[in-house]
Amino acid sequence: MNTQQIKQRFGIIGTSPDLDRAIDIATQVAITDLSVLITGESGVGKEVMPQIIHQLSARKHNKYIAVNCGAIPEGTIDSELFGHEKGAFTGAHDSRKGYFEVADGGTIFLDEVAELPVQTQVRLLRVLETGEFIKVGSSKVMKTDIRIVTATNVNIPEAIRKGKFREDLFYRLNTVPIHLPALRERKDAIHLLFRKFAADFANKYRMPAVKLSPEAIVLLENYRWKGNIRQLKNIAEQISVIESTRDINGVILTKYLPSDNTQNLPTVYKGGENSDLSERDILYKVLFDLKGDVTELKNIVVGLVQNNGGERTDGINNPAIMQSVQRLYENKEQPPLEEAKVYTPQILPREDQSTSALLSVQHQEVVEESLSLADKEKEMIIKALQKYSGKRKKAANELGISERTLYRKIKEYDINS
């Protein structure tokens, strides 16, 4: 039987070289018992190939069973394929034969085989290698003589890399690969298929068949058909039922073609407003913020010294400032100025010479101010004691420190009060 005869027998339309090649491979492999894996996009008609293989094989008088693996729940797939014993699980009131037992001597077609759970893949691999299987809830090994044909629209090598499909099972299933081209790669068949579907629906609904104008035919053939033959059939049925006119032009046809006819690419989401900043940029930002804090604190201390304990021009009360500074000493913590002096030279990247020089100058200024702070503090304590004629309690209140801390400072600076 030649390719054209097979097309007529199984209702295959089109003259694509890739389609003819797939039919030719199916014809040649039919007389063997080799496993066949059929690949192609969803809706290209993969279910026709196993029918060709079965009908042209020596098994054509035995059972042919087609199973959609993606439509069976994971919890019952083993029972469906291999059967189960009575009481094997809740609801198993009787023993049941699975598809592999029922189709013994025939052919089983496993559509969407990539949807099988990994545990079921192990059972299937054993059937392929030894022809043996065990029912759910049984310990008895059973034999089956069956031809297995599988199909998928999933990229199985990618599924293997993700750990979703067993590599050894793939090699057993892929003994003979057959690939079916997408409908958009068979433009010569698009209008022919539409005419066939239109005639079928005209007979089904008892109405005249719709016809396409030349403009509509061009539009039909240039559409991408992501759903392939299945999508084309659905649109032909919609037009046949909904449209009152039987002559379909481009304007009418456009209403039934989804407008989103481009590949949907994922967009890259950029988080917050600073999400595009590199680690180096963020580090610079932190350093400059720290520099601003250091400069502000330095100005506070300078203003404090220049006013000699009086009111600061920016409205900040001197005793409150001194109390904050004093708490740093009492807790034996390094002031923020010292922290900037120690850590800034280590973090700053060497190549940023301008920033390095800027912070270097700031570092020198901070060191000078920090060394003179003790002398200024001693001077202010002396002035406070002189102002209150040696009364330490009043002097401590004036300075914004505790009387105990004042005693310690007098002793530390060796002040004669």
Domain co-membership, 10 together with 100: yes
d(CA 352, CA 146): 74
**What is the DSSP secondary-structure string of 119-171?**
HHHHHHHHHHHHSEEE-BT---EEE---EEEEEESS-HHHHHHTTSS-HHHHH
CB atoms within 10 A of CB 259: 7
pLDDT < 50 stretches in the chain: 261-277, 310-316, 328-329, 332-370
Is there a domain that residue 265 lies in? no
Is there a domain that residue 274 lies in? no
Tokens of 35: 């496993």
d(CA 183, CA 112): 19
Is there a domain that residue 94 lies in? yes
Is there a domain that residue 100 lies in? yes
Domain co-membership, 128 together with 226: no
Is there a domain that residue 260 lies in? no
pLDDT of residue 48: 96
Domain co-membership, 242 together with 107: no
pLDDT of residue 319: 58
Domain co-membership, 32 together with 171: yes
pLDDT of residue 399: 84
Q: Which of 181, 209, 224 is the last residue of a domain?
A: 181
Domain that holds residue 314: 279-413
Domain co-membership, 241 together with 371: no
Domain co-membership, 29 together with 175: yes
Domain co-membership, 188 together with 159: no
187, 223, 226, 248 from 16: Cα distances, Å: 9, 17, 18, 26
pLDDT of residue 315: 45
Supply the DSSP symbol for 209.
P
pLDDT of residue 44: 95
- Report the CATH number at residue 99: 3.40.50.300
Count of structural domains, the chain: 3
pLDDT of residue 343: 42
- Report the CATH number at residue 245: 1.10.8.60
